[in-house]
Amino acid sequence: MMVLMDEEKARFEALKKIRDEVVNFKDSPLTPFRIKPIIGEGNHFASIMLIGEAPGKNESETGHPFCGASGRILDELLASISLPREEVYITNILKDRPPNNRDPLPSEIEMYAPWLDRQIEIIKPKILGLLGRFSMGYIMERYELKNLIEPISRAHGRVYEADFKFGMVKIVPLYHPAVAVYNANMKEELIKDFKVLKELI
Ligand code: URA
């Protein structure tokens, strides 16, 4: 019991340190677009960590990841496998919003990704659900799966494995929920792929 409490405290403190660092980081080209940075939220002992690309306007206004239109799709997807949002940990590669919701630049990914790497090392998930091609590209390249990278249209729903400092992690590329906002067929694909996540738990 004591050990668990110590570990809870350690994870909380380590994540808080990341929060403080990001909040105090003002040298990013994205700083002018920041309302609030988005660090991540959810269970610090989650078996599943979901990684998106970057916050949008709604997220920046509230400080919560996936709380706009994509977030509503994500909630539906989690509900489709009866997985409460509070049980997973949700974050993004970029902690600040790119202007006009444009794609993250490679230089921005490089700038923000060390915080993501640390979040993964702290939470030690067993499964990473990679929401979209940027998250897939970053994680697969970083964790020695570069040779296996394919377009997201082929890779989605497949299960890869990577060796992290804390153990083996299953990696599942998924379409970004934004693709389903106006496309019911894509939502069906995402629902199928979320079943894969469920089976891995
Ligand atoms: N899209 C993302 O990739 N992340 C969010 O938090 C919101 C939208």
Assign 3-class secondary structure to the chain: CHHHHHHHHHHHHHHHHHHHHHHHCCCCCCHHHCCCCCCCEECCCCCEEEEECCCCHHHHHHCCCCCCHHHHHHHHHHHHCCCCHHHCEEEECCCCCCHHHCCCCHHHHHHHHHHHHHHHHHHCCCEEEEECHHHHHHHHHHCCCHHHCCCHHHHCCCCEEEEECCEEEEEEEECCHHHHCCCHHHHHHHHHHHHHHHHHC
Show the domain range for 120.
2-200
Question: pLDDT band for position 182 (50/70/90)?
Answer: confident
Total domain count for the chain? 1
Mean pLDDT of 129-140: 98
Q: Could you tell me the pTM of the whole model?
A: 0.96
Q: Is 40 in the pocket of ligand 1 (CB under 6 A)?
A: no
What atom of ligand 1 comes closest to residue 135's alpha carbon?
Answer: 3
- Per residue in 16-40, pLDDT (tens digit) is 999 999 999 999 999 999 999 999 9
- Per residue in 146-161, pLDDT (tens digit) is 999 999 999 999 999 9
Report the CATH number at residue 170.
3.40.470.10
Question: pLDDT band for position 83 (50/70/90)?
Answer: very high
To test the pocket of ligand 1, the residue of 61, 66, 133 to mutate (highest count of ligand atoms within 8 Å of its CB) is 66
Q: Please compute, for residue 94, the number of CA atoms within 13 A of its CA located in the half-sphere on the CB side.
A: 27
Question: In DSSP terms, which residues pair with 89 in a beta bridge?
Answer: 42, 49
Question: pLDDT band for position 80 (50/70/90)?
Answer: very high
Q: Is 92 in the pocket of ligand 1 (CB under 6 A)?
A: yes
